[in-house]
Amino acid sequence: MKPHRTAVLASLALAGGTALTALAPAAQAQTFDPCSAANHGRLRYTTGSAAHVVFAISPSYASNHVVVSECAKHGRSWKRISVTTGRAGTGAFARPGAKREGDGATPTGSFTLTEAFGLGNSGTKLKYRTLRGSGDCWGATPGKSHYNDYYSGSCRSTDENLSAIARRGPYHQAVVIDYNRPNAKPGLGSAIFFHVGGVTPTAGCVSIKEPELRAVMRTLVPNDRMIMGPKSALFRS
């Protein structure tokens, strides 16, 4: 998400045993449980060594409305522990391998979650960076140093000023989604985060309300995963 990007979401969070019928209207048509589907071998993507998987599922490649569910591993099975609504990119979802820098699309696939950042760690076990008032940057310029990675100093105008975006709200808290990293390939997309949202789509990230994001972050450990994209791309029928 570049400095001009706004973030997402008019959402209603659910946790524990709350009824799925309480979901916002945009999500009522998608009561699909990805945890149960994964237990039945329908998931097309790997969960790796994850103890928790966060799914962001849209109804189609053309939609940027998502249902965000967290699944926790219990023995050999997955159990859904939370669900809320959210938003993806203005360009909706890119097909696997089609994501490009600046297209506004959210990449489809399964990606590790290894680090986070924001205004202060509220309990995540991921590697956490507390942002300062200025000088925290994320490279988003293909061909330049620190492409799709953090750096400290004076932010280039074509990169992300994390400090400034945090002051505006979206990066109060954020989890780095390891799309095109490490060893980023220039031009394939950068700065794909799971972050605080408002009422609009993102420019390629996944976003939910801050209380719900903080609750998910408190459960995450290194090598947990985000699996995101249209339902038909993620799951067999």
Q: What is the pLDDT of residues 43-70, one digit of tens each?
A: 999 999 999 999 999 999 999 999 999 9
The pLDDT mean for the chain works out to 89
Residue 14 scores a pLDDT above 50: no
What is the value of pTM for the model shown? 0.88
Average of pLDDT values for 116-122? Answer: 96
186, with CB counted inside 10 A (0-12, 13-18, 19+), is middle
Options 3.40.50.150, 2.40.440.10, 3.30.1150.10, 1.10.12.10; CATH for 14-234 is 2.40.440.10
Q: What is the pLDDT of residues 181-207, one digit of tens each?
A: 999 999 999 999 999 995 789 999 999
pLDDT above 90: percentage of residues in the chain: 85
The confidence score (pLDDT) of residue 213 equals 98
